[in-house]
Amino acid sequence: MVAYTVDGINYWVATDRYDLSAEQIALIYKLRWEIEKFFAWWKRHLKVYHLIARSDYGLMVQILAGLITYLLLAIYCRELHNERVNIKRVRELRIKIQNEMSSSTTNTLGSGFTNQQPSIPYAST
């Protein structure tokens, strides 16, 4: 059992890590709690409930992509609407992007381009 105090509050932690000091155990739990808080924020603000990455690199890419997306949304909401990110603005932006993409696809297809995959010759065996 390891005891430590943070901001006047006593904590007791059961551990079998006899090779670590009480200060080290306290630091490990503090860092773990910071990670828990980050993922709570991630779920709350980005609505990401499952990580799809299975490697360290994939996890980093997914986290960075989510953070970049959130920052872009924050800039959009602040600059255009002078407010914090909220689901209403995110939905409006998603609809706007979808409309622009479908309009752009229609314009591209109407200008003589076709939406067909090019034929790729395969080697016969």
> So what's the pLDDT on residue 124?
47
Q: Give percent of the chain above pLDDT 90.
A: 4
Runs of H (alpha helix) within 7-111 = 22-46, 56-81, 87-110
Token pair belonging to 4: 């430590």
pLDDT in tens, 61-81: 988 988 898 888 889 888 988
How much is the pTM? 0.53
Does 31 share its domain with 61? Answer: no
Does 55 share its domain with 85? Answer: yes
Does 60 share its domain with 28? Answer: no
Does 34 share its domain with 56? Answer: no
Which residues have C-beta within 8 Å of that of residue 2, sequence separation ≥ 6?
Answer: 12, 13, 14, 15, 22, 25, 26
pLDDT in tens, 19-30: 988 788 888 888
Domain that holds residue 91: 51-98
Whether 116 is covered by a domain: the verdict is: no
> So what's the pLDDT on residue 25?
83
Number of folded domains in the chain? 2
pLDDT in tens, 37-51: 888 888 887 777 777
